[in-house]
Amino acid sequence: MEVAEQTDNARRGRRSRLIRFVAIGVVVSFAAGLIGGVLATQIDSGSSTNTEPYTQVTAAPVVSTDDSAQITGVAAAATRLANSVVTISSLVNGGMGEGESTGTGVVVTSDGEILTNAHVVEGATEVRVRFAGDTEPVTAVVVAADAGNDLALLKVDAQNLVAATFAKPGSVRVGDQVVAIGYALALDGGPSVTTGIVSAMRRTIFTDSGALNSLIQTDAAISSGNSGGPLANMRGEVVGINTAVARGSNNSAANNIGFAISVDEVLTVLEQLREQASGVPRTEGFLGVSLEARNDGGAGSIIATVQPGSPAEQAGVLIGDIVLAVDGEPVNGQAGLVAAIRDRTPGDSISIDLVRDGERLTVSAVLVARPQD
């Protein structure tokens, strides 16, 4: 099935491009600007005019600790977040000439950290941010980006910004009412607000950059330009970062299926982005297996190879085992495995749920550093 990776209605009329997803059955398109298609890390600001050393922000994002706050309405939730949501414009030089993409961002700290999707700023030669109520944008620097997790950290020279509050990790449940806020279609005026529920948790979708996992699925309307914006609970706390929507193809229908990176993942990746921005190289964990898809309709993926001496071999993983999950994260194919372990570091212990000869078992493996190519 062909899947269209949706670009924003970039004001220069950039075209969307087709990619092929496996076993999704619907078209999944990123909900903002020009899509990042490379699984890589960008730490440099990418701006030839920025020669000053960068001072890393150390303030922690505001994370809710209140388990009993009174639930409020959609309007109250949107109002609480309004001053923490920004519009992001990225200038990009591509094969069709210069274009502009737009997306949304969330203010993380009062002194200028902003979080958005990596695909919103991928390939940008200049990034500008406009705050709520302002008429003029300010220049932002991309200090770190992780295309694999589709998150990027920006920095602007500002003080006394209104930082968003993040929901407590693990607090999101299927059926919770949520609000999506963002600058849909780059329309003039304030951000668009839509509402729905959490339809499912821990979804994995596949893009040409690999897999995005631990996603929240929601039926709140998400449109081009919403990428990088918050999905919030009814207290106005950020539960996720909006990143993708599903579109039906000629042979299937997809209505009101959007995806957001969960707050649990966001807070973890945010710290990794800060480390990258401060010059600490990222070292990924390595398990040492390859997978092949099942063709019998069953769950999980089949172990195709086990590298000798690898953590997988030491854990007792065998060729032919069926991998169901890693640390509770469902695994579907090699890309799904990469998504399940990419945020782990050497020395981390992971649990692997397997099926062997019809019996379920769980083994533990300690990751090592990924070999250099």
Question: Could you tell me the two tokens for 256?
Answer: 């009101």
Q: Would you call 349 a catalytic residue per the annotation? A: no
> What's the sign of the alpha-carbon dihedral 128, 114, 44, 341?
negative
Q: Same domain, yes or no, for 197 and 339?
A: no
Q: Same domain, yes or no, for 328 and 272?
A: no
- The domain spanning residue 179 has which CATH number? 2.40.10.120
10 Å CB burial of residue 49 (0-12, 13-18, 19+) is: exposed
By residue range, what is the domain housing residue 182? 1-51+60-282
Q: How confident is the model at residue 245 (pLDDT cuts 50, 70, 90)?
A: confident
Could you give the CA distance from residue 178 to residue 196 in angstroms, rounded to a whole number? 6
Mean pLDDT of 254-264: 89
Helices (H) and strands (E) in the chain, counts: 5, 26
Q: Same domain, yes or no, for 100 and 136?
A: yes
Domain boundary among the residues 282, 316, 337 is at: 282
Query: What is the DSSP code (8-state) at residue 131?
Result: -
Mean pLDDT of 302-322: 95
Is it the case that residue 308 has pLDDT exceeding 80?
yes
Residue with tokens 């039926």: 219
Q: How confident is the model at residue 271 (pLDDT cuts 50, 70, 90)?
A: very high
Q: Which of 272, 167, 147, 256 is nearest to 210 (CA)?
A: 147
Q: Same domain, yes or no, for 226 and 317?
A: no
Pairing of strands 289-293, 301-306: antiparallel
Instruction: Quote the pLDDT of residue 62.
Output: 64
Mean pLDDT of 264-277: 92
CB atoms within 10 A of CB 106: 26
Q: What is the CA radius of gyration of the chain?
A: 20
Instruction: Quote the pLDDT of residue 291.
Output: 87
Pairing of strands 113-116, 124-130: unpaired
Instruction: Quote the pLDDT of residue 46.
Output: 28
Is it the case that residue 247 has pLDDT exceeding 70?
yes
52-99 pLDDT, tens digit each: 333 334 456 766 656 545 556 899 999 999 999 999 999 887 666 677
Max CA distance (Å), the chain:
64
Q: Same domain, yes or no, for 209 and 236?
A: yes
Q: Same domain, yes or no, for 130 and 17?
A: yes
Q: Same domain, yes or no, for 277 and 292?
A: no
Active-site residue, from 45, 119, 192, 343: 119
Instruction: Quote the pLDDT of residue 296.
Output: 84
Based on the structure, what is the number of domains in the chain? 2
Mean pLDDT of 300-329: 93
Domain boundary among the residues 282, 309, 328 is at: 282
Q: Would you call 8 a catalytic residue per the annotation? A: no
Q: Same domain, yes or no, for 253 and 298?
A: no
Instruction: Quote the pLDDT of residue 27.
Output: 33
- The domain spanning residue 349 has which CATH number? 2.30.42.10
Is it the case that residue 14 has pLDDT exceeding 80?
no
Active-site residue, from 89, 227, 301, 310: 227
Q: Same domain, yes or no, for 237 and 339?
A: no
**Of 247-256, 283-292, 303-312, 363-372, which gets the smallest average pLDDT?**
247-256
Q: Are 261 and 244 in contact (CB under 8 A)?
A: no
Q: Same domain, yes or no, for 116 and 157?
A: yes
Question: Could you tell me the two tokens for 62?
Answer: 């505001």
Domain boundary among the residues 222, 247, 282 is at: 282
Could you give the CA distance from residue 344 to residue 68 in angstroms, rounded to a whole number? 32
Instruction: Quote the pLDDT of residue 213.
Output: 84
35-58 pLDDT, tens digit each: 333 222 222 222 223 333 333 344
Q: Which of 344, 270, 281 is nearest to 57 (CA)?
A: 270
Q: How confident is the model at residue 306 (pLDDT cuts 50, 70, 90)?
A: very high
Could you give the CA distance from residue 85 to residue 108 in angstroms, rounded to a whole number? 10
Q: Same domain, yes or no, for 269 and 296?
A: no
Q: Same domain, yes or no, for 160 and 271?
A: yes
134-172 pLDDT, tens digit each: 889 999 999 999 988 999 999 999 999 999 999 999 999
Mean pLDDT rounded to a whole number for the chain: 79
Q: Would you call 150 a catalytic residue per the annotation? A: yes
209-219 pLDDT, tens digit each: 667 888 999 99
Active-site residue, from 8, 111, 146, 150: 150
Q: Which residue has the higher pLDDT, 284 or 104?
A: 104
Could you give the CA distance from residue 230 to residue 196 in angstroms, rounded to a whole number? 13
